[in-house]
Structure formats: C-alpha cells, structure tokens
Chains A and B, each alone.
Chain A
C-alpha cells in the first residue's frame, strides 16, 4: 500500500499523519507538494490538518485552487481513497468533494481537547474495522469545525448514510453539551456518496499511541489498510451514484 500526504503552505499535521501511517502501520508514505500535479499510483491520499494559506478568505478556499487538487479530484472520481482531516476536511468541502461547509465554532474559541465520537456508519472503507455505535476518544483542535449544510442535502446525506461520525457524550448520546462547536446534528465526519472520500474534524493520526492519551484513531487506519489489502479501490456498491 502506498499513501500520499498532500502538503499545502500552512499544513502542520503532515508529519503526524506520516508518523501514523509509516511508523505505526508500516505504510510506504510520500509527501506531495501542492504545486505538484499528480497523485497517481497511490492507494490513499491524505489532506492533513493545519492552516493552509493561513486560512485566508475561508478555511480551505485557496487550497482548493492548488495545482494538485485537479489530480486529487480525478483520483477521487476513480475511487481512490481520500482522507481529509481537520483542515483537509475543510479543503474537501470547499473543493466540492464533500457536501456542506465548516464555519466558526459557535463559542468562537479554538478548541483543543479529546472528545467522544460515535461511529454512525461502519460500512465505509474508513470505519469498517469498527462497529456501528462504537465510541472513539479522539482529539479535536480547530476554530472552524461547525458543520453546516442545507436541509435538503442533509436529508439526502441521511438517506445515503453519509454521516459517519457524531460528537457524543460518554454514553454515546449525541447531546448538545457533547457538541463542541455547534455542528448541525453533532456531525463530526462525513463521506461522499461513493464512500471513498471521508472528511472529519477530529485527528485520528494523533490517537495511534497510548502515550498520546488514546489509540482509538487506529481503527480508521486499520479500516483503510484492510480495504486496500482486499484489493484496492473499486467503489463499494451504493444505491445512488448521481452527481
């Protein structure tokens, strides 16, 4: 398995992602610069966290215009796994590869702490090693993680089971106090219709070692590894594939 980590000016979780992929899971991992034009030949493309282009204009808005993004779009369309973490999630939304947008946290504070997440859909290449209803303890670190989407799209996302992770309390209830940033319906992570593009605000790559307080993030990478080992990237069967 080969993974590419795309670095934008201002990315700052690229090394954490490489540590998780290469040192914890033994995956051959390359950095790809945003001015490069190809991410062909990789089984996984990671858009890491950080502050691409200083969050100018909107988080992820400038990054989506980077030369590498054309190839990322092509790879996503052909079924390659694409994982966007934190700022990477924002970039995927801005690029239109995932629905919705992420705005300022309702508290206006940058929040950096561990939170409980409930797996809402384990039938994705990114969560297949977990079970629906499993709880993950993962760190979040963001100022703009407040997920927004129009009601019609949300309805479609529900029907197509694109909501993958929700913020919840320790019992697994997606309550308002358990919602750190004001996200609609406590949404913390979503996938596209074909389920090969996944974006989430929490940082699984920072939760792959008990020394860091949790290794619950491993389940995301274990799922990816098992998907790639089972024969790579053909799109999973889904009922809808229009647009």
Chain B
C-alpha cells in the first residue's frame, strides 16, 4: 500500500518559515497573498496494509508533534 502523510504547522502556531516565504512571494507582485504555511509530505510504502487506526497512532506519536502540528493522510493504493 501507499499512504501519503501531510503534516502542517497548527494555525495557532507561528510558522516563521511560512512568514518569510510569504514576504518573498509579495516581492513577486502578489501583494494579496495573505498566508503561507510550510509543512511536510511523507510517502509511506508498505508490503502490507496499515490499518487506519495504526496510521493515526503513527502520526500522533512520531510523524507529527500534536503540540505544534496537524496531520492528515491519504491512502492511495491498498496492497490487496
């Protein structure tokens, strides 16, 4: 199977990288750009299916830090 995990900084947490990139975008004559947030994409390939519950556990305990980040995932192709 293949799962794609997307981790982004929580809306309530300042994202210094995102702010810097937003400023750079504004220099491209796009003054209307309000916000940029920078996260991570992790592509996980597995021989066998990972149950959704297990994926949530993995995201909570390792792939994201719930204090500062949100996550979501998409299961693209089941193994079966």
**Is B17 close to A, CB under 8 A?**
yes
Q: Contact check, A108 vs B17: say whether CB atoms are below 8 A apart.
A: yes
Total inter-chain residue pairs, C-beta < 8 Å: 38
Q: How many residues of chain A are within 8 Å of chain B by beta carbon? A: 20
Instruction: Provide the residues of chain B in CB contact with A182, threshold 8 Å.
Output: 14, 16
Segment 90-123 of A: residues with Cβ below 8 Å from B:
93-94, 99-101, 103-108
**B16 touches which one: A61, A65, A100, A105 (CB < 8 A)?**
A105
Q: Contact check, B14 vs A101: say whether CB atoms are below 8 A apart.
A: no
Instruction: Provide the residues of chain B in CB contact with A99, threshold 8 Å.
Output: 67
**B65 touches which one: A58, A106, A146 (CB < 8 A)?**
A58
**Is B33 close to A, CB under 8 A?**
no
**A104 touches which one: B17, B63, B67 (CB < 8 A)?**
B17
Q: Contact check, A101 vs B68: say whether CB atoms are below 8 A apart.
A: yes
Q: Contact check, A150 vs B67: say whether CB atoms are below 8 A apart.
A: yes
Determine how close the nearest CB of chain B comes to the CB of A110; give it in whole angstroms. 13
Instruction: Provide the residues of chain B in CB contact with A24, threshold 8 Å.
Output: none
Q: Contact check, B67 vs A65: say whether CB atoms are below 8 A apart.
A: no
* Residues of A near any B CB (own CB < 8 A): 57-58, 61, 65, 93-94, 99-101, 103-108, 146, 148-150, 182
* Residues of B near any A CB (own CB < 8 A): 9, 12-14, 16-17, 20, 62-63, 65, 67-68
Given A57-B62, A148-B68, A182-B14, 16 new contacts (CB under 8 A)? A57-B63, A58-B65, A94-B65, A101-B65, A101-B67, A101-B68, A103-B9, A103-B13, A103-B14, A105-B16, A106-B14, A108-B17, A146-B14, A148-B13, A150-B67, A182-B16
A-B contact pairs, 5 of them (CB 8 A): A101-B65, A101-B68, A107-B16, A150-B67, A182-B16
